Amino acid sequence: MNVLAIKRLTKKFGDFIAVDDISFSVGQGEIFGFLGPNGAGKSTVIHMIASLLSISSGEIELLGKNIAKHRHFAKSNIGIVPQELSIYEDMSAYENVEFFAGLYGLRGAQLRKSVEEALAFVGLGDKRRDYPKNFSGGMKRRLNIACAIAHRPALIIMDEPTIGIDPQSRSYILDSVKKLNEMGSTIIYTSHYMEEVEEICSRIAIIDHGKIIAEGTKAQLTSIITNQSHIRIEVKSGERVELEGLKAIAGVRSVEREGGWIKVSSDAEVNNLNPILRVLTALDAEVIAVESDRPSLESVFLTLTGRSLRD
Amino acid sequence: MNIIRIAIKEVKVFRDVRMLVFMLATPILIMLILGTALSNVFNGSAAIGEIRILYENGNMSSMLESRWNKLVQEASGSGIHFEPASNREAALQDVQAGRYTGFATIAEDGISYTGNDRIGVENSIAQGVLAAFADDYKLALAMADGASVEGVPLSSTALRADYVQEASIDGGQQPSAMDYYAVAMTTLIIMYSAMTAGQLMDNERKRHTDIRLLASPVSRMEIFIGKIIGTLLLNGVFVLLIMLFSKYMFGVNWGTSQLTVFLVLASQIVYALGLGIGLSYIIKGNASGIVLMLIIQLEAMIGGSYFPADVLTGFFGALSQLSPMKWTNGAILQLIYQGSAAGVAPAMLFNIGAALVLLTLSVLLLRRREGL
């Protein structure tokens, strides 16, 4: 069952078309990635899903209900982690989560339990009485997440949740996202960091200038530009290495010499680096360096738009 | 329920030390400084300025009226101004309020005069002038022996107590400087709360908490109402604390109808809230804060925050009549020191009425926007 269905969604600001006739769906239990450069329209799409912006045309259905007609239902079942920190610095961590969770109808013992669980989940259980103004950037980001998940929404929207934080905190947040998903949450994750999206998302849509230019799993997306991966291996006296053994490895399409390098082209979805190295070892070839040339989402975006994701 | 939840969140601002210092310590400190430094100004004497006296024609003969008009003309050159009263009751109220020194009824059988004994020196001068006029007229009549007294010049004579009947309005207890500035500083700090009110929605936008609020199943009206109720409660508590602190620490007299005084102040809180929020929606950006500050300063100047507004004359005197702060200060002082609630209803009606207009406008503008 689809948790979210977007049908021909458009958003105009005057004459400017920020989101241009996009359609996609998010299945139950998916982590759906929304990848695109700054200004592509990612935040505009999720703000429409969260009813923060009106829709110019099209439809959004959450759990089968049109959100424009069932606004209260839709809002009750969505949790949003905004790109900007959305917390009160003059209220404690506990008070922040309690306040926002209370707006979703949680009361009494159930509210307290949900708040404690949310804070524990993001690793701020022992900081419940502390104030965000004394938190590090990573801790504030975690509190930002706690405020979104306390009411156990059917759909969690995370808009660039790791912006501006240290790698350790980023790793913690990505692990938290995976854990949430394992617990059954459906997540929409937007980012312009391809590595994050590649790591955690089951399906990805690439958006640029308000349009979805590609959608699918990572393998499906990379196959748009190529169905091969390339490994280049620098071997001492490589010109004397027999190549037939390498050609026989599963998935290998071609083997070529490039000066002192051996280039092995394989099917994109096959990871055969270890077998290749074993064959070379068996041939007494001395491996000096290895380079991998696997297609990434960055290269997919570059191929489709002529620009890099970081532009 | 969410309205209450949002209101309680607003009240938690009470824990902000800077806010506490500003809302409590500032008015109390200024109260103490001005109340101590200017105590002589309220208890001592003051220079005599223009003397204004209202009068009515109590059936003057043409001869009397002619001499009276001459007196009116000549006295104005000496700073004594006789003005015809349109209505006796209104005239007496003006005298009681100190806007005029006294009220005289000029008639053939004598002059009756009612003065405000709070304005002692001016009152005496007015009595003296009227008594002298009365004597002059009687003398002129005697000299003319039935003929016209037109040619008989006015002159000063001794006071004739039997020709001028005097009465005085009990001006009542007067506020000391501390008492005066307790009221004035309380109403001033309430006006400054309009600045905070103007930031109510903007603060949510700056903190990006508007995103989370609007994404929740709470309507914008619930957010709007909750924040207003919370701010009202917060400022109400601050005002109560100021009243209690000034009463028990400085001995300030808040009168015997302190609940009514508080209600008048509460209505001013509503007005300040409406003014701040209304301007924040009508004028975008930082300009609303600048305009609001100008309005507050102007109201403070002509409304009696720094000195009693009754001393203002001419253009500024007329302008001060339009100041809601003057109405509020006046209503409270009248209630405390004259036991009269005459000014309470107009002040409260204006405060609440203006707030309703501004808040309604804010709601209409809010509906036209996306977000807060």
Q: What is the pLDDT of residues B60-98, one digit of tens each?
A: 888 889 889 988 988 888 788 999 999 999 999 888 888
- Listed as ranges, residues in chain A with pLDDT below 70 are 225, 227, 294-295, 306-311
| Alpha carbons B211 and B175: distance in angstroms, whole number | 51
Mean pLDDT confidence for B281-305: 90
Q: Given a cut of 90, is residue B295 above it in pLDDT?
A: yes
Mean pLDDT confidence for B295-324: 85
Q: Given a cut of 80, is residue B157 above it in pLDDT?
A: no
Q: What is the pLDDT of residues A121-152, one digit of tens each?
A: 999 999 999 999 999 999 999 999 999 999 99
| Alpha carbons B130 and B71: distance in angstroms, whole number | 10
Q: Given a cut of 60, is residue B162 above it in pLDDT?
A: no
Residues of A in contact with B9 (CB under 8 A): 88, 91, 99
pLDDT category, B48, cuts 50, 70, 90?
Answer: low
CB contact under 8 A, B214 and A52: yes
Q: Given a cut of 80, is residue B234 above it in pLDDT?
A: yes
Q: Contact at 8 Å (CB) between A305 and A213?
A: yes
- pLDDT of A219 reads 79
With a pLDDT cut of 70, the percent of chain B lying above it is 88
Residues with Cβ within 8 Å of residue B331, at least 6 apart in sequence = B264, B341, B343, B344, B346, B347, B348
Q: How far is CA A193 from CA A28, A176, A216, A298, B317, in A?
A: 24, 17, 17, 9, 67
Q: Given a cut of 70, is residue B130 above it in pLDDT?
A: yes
Smallest Cα distance from B192 to chain A, Å: 22
- pLDDT of A38 reads 83
CB contact under 8 A, B5 and A99: yes
Q: What is the Rg, in whole angstroms, of the alpha carbon atoms belonging to chain A?
A: 24
Return the CATH number of B51-169, one of 2.30.29, 2.60.40, 3.40.1350, 3.40.50: 3.40.50
Query: pTM of the prediction?
Result: 0.73
Q: Given a cut of 50, is residue B151 above it in pLDDT?
A: no
- pLDDT of B119 reads 65
Q: Contact at 8 Å (CB) between A44 and A11?
A: yes
Q: Given a cut of 60, is residue B168 above it in pLDDT?
A: no
- pLDDT of A6 reads 96
Distance from the Cα of residue B76 to its chain's centroid: 28
Of B256, B268, B272, B277, residue with least CA distance to B327: B268
Of A51, A90, A103, the CB nearest to B16: A90
pLDDT category, B152, cuts 50, 70, 90?
Answer: very low
CB contact under 8 A, A100 and B12: no
Dump strand ranges (E) for chain B. 51-57, 80-84, 102-107, 110-116, 164-169
CB contact under 8 A, B207 and A88: yes
CB contact under 8 A, A78 and B215: yes
CB contact under 8 A, B12 and A95: yes
- pLDDT of A294 reads 66
* A223-232, B209-218, B304-313, B339-348: segment of lowest average pLDDT: A223-232
Residues of B in contact with A106 (CB under 8 A): none
CB contact under 8 A, A86 and B370: no
* A159-168, B32-41, B237-246, B316-325: segment of lowest average pLDDT: B32-41
Mean pLDDT confidence for B318-329: 88
pLDDT category, B121, cuts 50, 70, 90?
Answer: confident
Q: How far is CA B200 from CA A11, A147, B182, B221, B228, in A?
A: 29, 22, 27, 14, 8
- pLDDT of A192 reads 80
The 8-class DSSP code of residue B311 comes to G
Of A78, A86, A148, the CB nearest to B209: A86
Residue B143 has, within 13 A of its CA and on its CB side, a CA count of 12
**Would you kindly state where each structural domain of chain B is located, as residue ranges?**
2-39+175-367, 51-169
Question: Which of A48, A90, A92, A103 has the highest number of chain B CBs within 10 A, making it the mutation to test binding with B?
Answer: A103
**Which domains are assigned to chain A?**
2-218 (3.40.50.300), 227-294 (3.30.70.980)
Q: Given a cut of 80, is residue B244 above it in pLDDT?
A: yes
Of A277, A304, A305, residue with least CA distance to A292: A277
Q: What is the Rg, in whole angstroms, of the alpha carbon atoms belonging to chain B?
A: 27
Smallest Cα distance from A231 to chain B, Å: 47
